[in-house]
Amino acid sequence: MFLLLTIPLKVEDKIETPATKYSELEAVSLRSPFVVEVVSTEEAILTSLVEKASNTATPSKLPQQKSYSEVEIMQLIAEKGSRSVLLSDLNACEAGGRHDNMWGDSGTSYGGFMFKYQTFQTHCVLEGLGTNWKDFKDQLNCAEDMIFVEKIGDTFEGWYNCFRMMNLSKYPLD
Residue 147 within any structural domain of the chain: yes
Residue 90 within any structural domain of the chain: yes
Residue 74 within any structural domain of the chain: yes
Tell me what pLDDT residue 25 has. Answer: 37
Residues 84 and 144 in one domain: yes
Residue 80 within any structural domain of the chain: yes
Are 17 and 104 contacting, i.e. CB atoms less than 8 angstroms apart?
no
Residues 16 and 49 in one domain: yes
Tell me what pLDDT residue 115 has. Answer: 96
Residue 114 within any structural domain of the chain: yes
The CATH number of whichever domain residue 152 belongs to comes to 1.10.530
Residue 62 within any structural domain of the chain: no
Tell me what pLDDT residue 156 has. Answer: 86
Residues 48 and 75 in one domain: no
Please state, in angstroms and rounded to a whole number, the distance separating the CA atoms of residues 9 and 115. 24
Residues 134 and 74 in one domain: yes
Tell me what pLDDT residue 40 has. Answer: 38
Residue 49 within any structural domain of the chain: yes
Domain range holding 49? 2-56
Residues 31 and 76 in one domain: no
pLDDT beneath 70, residues of the chain? 1-64
Residue 149 within any structural domain of the chain: yes
Buried b / exposed e along 133-151 (16+ C-beta atoms within 10 A): bbbbbbbbbbbbbbbbeee
Are 120 and 143 contacting, i.e. CB atoms less than 8 angstroms apart?
no
Question: For the chain, how many structural domains are there in total?
Answer: 2
Tell me what pLDDT residue 58 has. Answer: 52
Could you tell me the end-to-end alpha-carbon distance of the chain, in angstroms, rounded to an integer? 39
Write down the pTM of the prediction: 0.64
